[in-house]
Chain A
């Protein structure tokens, strides 16, 4: 196959793909078709891992695929209604691949209506500890204790990730989100760790904000934020608020990074099960994530081509999925993107 940018044959890069549950498979189909239509040199190794499907690939199988490919495009994984294990599949994947940093990119897109047009926020969330420790017990009937764990090591690691990200992407400020006025030891440790890392990056501004005030500020004045670095739970809430500000789960890309691997995925990880199979989901977020994956692989001309095609479809405002106030189907939108690239 030849790359979109030149006519020289390029050997395709093998990338792991986890279609996921709910609308995941449909969104993946969209990516596959756009890439095929545009001649992007990617081959997919599909791993069907799921906590709600009867036949699921094993985590070992995924680990093995990732060890070879290093990079993955991932759809949302649903949570089972009943009979689930203490630790969710999502958590297991993050832990086993050590994907400690979740990055969600919330940027106002031309053509997507939303409350504010000046949003350009990056939420960097530590996603391997905090409130998601899966350490709960009912010591006395009717009294449940859930452990939240914060470590200096992981706090320093995510802080460094955030500041390195700021430097690499020319961003000016990192804001640590916390509730250290109440959780003085745990969030206090997180905040302290962020502060100590901030000292090593004098060119990046650093401040801190309490999580409830942050959510209030986000809905009233989001332009004040740049990069936000957060522990697990607050990051989950904040990145959903930020995603809502720019148009919702259908338009926001995200990624999870570890030292060895990277996965690219929609920013707000909702499987949208009610829309499954109805061809209504918006593939924008997944396509943006796929473009980011291409950039990560160094396939810059293809990255630009995909982004340009997508941006022109959005800007035209003619083909819009339901969440954007239109009637177009997922396949309509996909075709429009491919056509825009020609």
Chain B
């Protein structure tokens, strides 16, 4: 009898895998989503599910999301079946605001959103718990084939680091970095291969540092102009 986590093989050639959905964890993530929406000025939360097929499991998730939504009347709540959601993401991703999902669907949706917004090299993410917060890229690709070639896109990680700074309330530093990134990628167009450029990892990093330097000088210059100490 092979057992691996929540998977097992009782009879040769037939494998069962358990998907577990609990009220407690559904409640927790739903509340997190609505609190997030509220504190970040977002207007709508959409729960993603397949409750028409997994009536008990996804049904519990969906019901719990609905229950939580009632405590946040100022935030709109709706739901969408995961397959339709996948199709909508391709055609009209702009219709979505905050998406609230169970584990597997979230994994797929994040991957799609990354693909739609420039790829795994650009998007950061973070993982929250009661005690810890962990910052990383959104799609967790290790980029094995790019090791040591100075071609990987550093932006996802730098943005993740900026998010970490913001989390630590070092907002000015975080904003400085993000502003520089935006300038480098949008205005100066210093880009690695994955987003259509020919620059190296180091070149992108240098460009970000240069942009930050310029910004700091500009801030210092405007401060000295407005300073009462002449």
Contacts and interface: CB of A to CB of B under 8 A. Distances in A.
Interface of A: 79, 84, 86, 88, 91, 115, 131-132, 134, 136-138, 141-153, 179, 183-186, 188-189, 211-213, 215-220, 233, 236-241, 243-245, 248-249, 268, 270
Nearest to A246: B90
B127 interface: no
A215 B119 contact: no
Interface stretch (B48-56, B202-210, B214-222): B48-56
Given A143-B20, A183-B7, A233-B50, A249 B120 contact: no
A211 B108 contact: yes
A100 to B, nearest CB: 16
Closest 3 A-B residue pairs measured CB to CB? Answer: A244-B90, A142-B23, A152-B13
Interface string B15-56: 111111111100000000000000000000000001011111
Contacts of A244: 86-91
Nearest to A140: B22
Nearest to A78: B52
B176 interface: no
B197 to A, nearest CB: 16
Contacts of B24: 142
A219 B112 contact: yes
B83 A147 contact: no
B110 A185 contact: no
Contacts of B17: 147-150, 183, 185-186
Contacts of A179: 104
Sort chain B's interface into a size bin. Answer: 35 or more
B4 interface: yes
B165 interface: no
Contacts, number: 157
B53 A249 contact: no
Contact of A240 (B15, B16, B84, B104): B84
A184 B91 CA distance: 33
Nearest to B61: A144
A216 B2 contact: no
Interface of A is mostly: mixed
B193 to A, nearest CB: 13
A237 B110 CA distance: 13
B101 to A, nearest CB: 12
Nearest to A90: B53
A229 to B, nearest CB: 17
Nearest to A156: B13
A153 B14 CA distance: 8
B116 interface: yes
Given A213-B111, A218-B115, A244-B90, A237 B23 contact: no
Given A144-B56, A186-B16, A236 B83 contact: yes
Given A144-B57, A184-B4, A88 B52 contact: yes
A92 B17 CA distance: 22
B162 to A, nearest CB: 23
Contact of B7 (A84, A151, A184): A184
B86 A144 contact: no
B139 interface: yes
Given A153-B13, A249-B87, A185 B53 contact: no
B108 to A, nearest CB: 5
Given A244-B90, A268-B87, A212 B16 contact: no
Interface string B96-131: 000000001101101110111001100000000000
B90 A241 contact: yes
A137 B60 CA distance: 11
B173 interface: no
B8 interface: yes
Contacts of A88: 52-53
A241 B52 CA distance: 19
